[in-house]
Amino acid sequence: MTQILVTGASGFVGQALCAELYKRDFQVRGALRMLRAELPEHDQFIVPDLDEHTDWSAALQGVVSVIHLAARVHVMKDSSFNPLEEFRTVNVKGTENLGRQAAQAGVKRLVYVSSVKVNGEETMEGRYTEENFSNPQDPYGTSKWEAEQALHQIAQETGMEVVIVRPPLVYGAGVKGNFIQMLKELSQGYPLPFYSINNRRSLIYVGNLVDALISCATHPAAAGQTYLVSDGEDISTPDLLRRLGAEMGRPAHLFPCPVGLLKLAGKLTGKSDQVQRLLGSLQVDSGKIRRELNWTPPFTLQQGLQATAEWYRNTHP
């Protein structure tokens, strides 16, 4: 039975991943900051900090594969004096340290959950593919790109297999950020100024991402590859709001507003990044993982939105 170590096991994706691995009869170890009731206590390893000094020796004993989710995540307003160095400490040095210790411990494969931000922030024409030149635009994306390079170097030096997965926005039960804010505003019936927006964005439901990560951890053809993943159905911001509203029983009230005015409002409120994500397009081509690993998302976009809306209704009465 394959022993898999999941770092960031208590996070949004980590909890869903561990649950699915258990369901499929994998032996699972979760690395997390504090004990969680969702995991058997003997399968939990407390890792308080992720940096170049973290000792992974106990957690890696007998492990065949690692799925590395733990990271310093992207935040909208970063108050750090030097955000890039803060991201590098965790996402680059911490990842490189884990990778080297994993290789020394005899781990066969490490799956690294990176980000579409390595490709860039917005697509003007077509979709991002794995062949595009990397173009990270912020400290978080830069740190993810540098971590990818560090892992490729370790793979070359040691023979440990590395697989890179770059998801776009992940949604589902437990989602945070812009997505839960949309759910909140829909549930409260606020009018939203996105009627005229004509964009396209790729998303991935957490259940689909989990399935893709398990394929990347187990499929022989995944070794050494980088994959962009998505639900496979891109959607505009107004259509997303309409479909979420319908699933919540709270129809979206949309009205038109000039894009320039929305961008100005974002600038004046310090929310330019959030506003741009609602206005701009970001599309990915997930054809490579579908062809090479014969991967098909187990859930449609509609099923993912329905499950997310149901979770929100049940947890935010």
Q: Tell me which residues are annotated as active site.
A: 140
Structure tokens at 244: 């979420």
Residues 8, 91 contacting (CB under 8 angstroms): no
CA 132 vs CA 14, 28, 202, 227: distances in Å: 28, 34, 16, 12
Residue position matching structure tokens 């030149």 = 133
Residues 5, 31 contacting (CB under 8 angstroms): yes
**Other Cβ atoms within 10 Å of 221 Cβ, number:** 13
Distance CA 66, CA 3 (A): 9
The number of CA neighbours under 13 Å toward the Cβ of 148 is 24
Burial (Cβ within 10 Å: 0-12, 13-18, ≥19) of residue 133: exposed
Write the Ramachandran bin of 232: left for phi over 0, alpha for psi from -120 to 50, otherwise beta: left
Distance CA 251, CA 248 (A): 8
Query: CA 270, 272, 274 angle in degrees (round to 5)?
Result: 105
Q: List the one residue out of 11, 77, 4 whose CA is nearest residue 43.
A: 4
Q: Is 60 helix (H, G, I), strand (E, B) or coil?
A: helix
Q: List the one residue out of 262, 244, 246, 245 whose CA is nearest residue 197.
A: 262
Give bridge partners of residue 317 from the DSSP assignment: none
Distance CA 71, CA 91 (A): 6
